[in-house]
Structure 1
Amino acid sequence: MLSAARKAQALTRARNMDHRFALIRWDDEGAMTLAPWYAEEQARVRGAEVTARISDGSAADMTGRALLLTGRFLLNALDAFASQTVTLHLTDAENTGLYLSPVLFTETDAITGHGYRYLVKPAIADGITPA
């Protein structure tokens, strides 16, 4: 996930975007992708597939969901971990399929304890859709 986030940040920087967002989406099988957010041009952007497992719920629960994070905040969160495995704790998505509540990053599936490291508030942008 870290390399995909770095690539997304570099691509938005190279395009001199006013905003530098990373878009995380889940497809019908629960596969997670991370891509730079290009607003109106997003349909042409193919995200990098990120290794992920759903620990609470199923792929059907994630289908059509999206999370938009400020790229710098995502990189800061991921850099806070020494391990290659990070757990994202997401609350229920809005009716639109977008996650708008803060995302908790931990080293384990547990929400409490020493694994807590980072909390990131999702970004909001005009025109973002989960699918």
Structure 2
Amino acid sequence: MSRHALVLALALVPLAACADGQPPAAAAATTPDGTPERPAKLGLCTACHGEDGTSRTAGTPHLGGQDRLYLERALADYRSGKRQHVPMTSLANALQPADIEALAAWYSARPGFAGSVP
């Protein structure tokens, strides 16, 4: 096997290990029972999205129970400018990739919204 073919094969190993073709995300810190730890930057999100992911404001999405990869991608899109919303863009730009992973893990592990907003 040529060196080029070997490098290519090794680069594809992580992709082959994932059923959806996406590389595995880094694991967020968890508690002993396996639930995500409270993220350090959660305070940036709670005023609008709530600590449990249930929005307190009309027009603000509920984040609890959302897909982790969706949440990570949405925050990355706000950082890159692909998604436009001034408050979210400035908050997302204050996050490092590890913060995004931790927040996405936290909110995806919360129960989904099952009620009405007052």
| TM-score higher than 0.5 | no
| Larger radius of gyration between Structure 1 and Structure 2 | 2
What is the TM-score of this pair, normalised by structure 1? 0.23
More strand by share: 1
Flag the structure with more relative contact order, 1 or 2, with Cα contacts below 8 A and sequence separation at least 6. Answer: 2
What is the TM-score of this pair, normalised by structure 2? 0.25
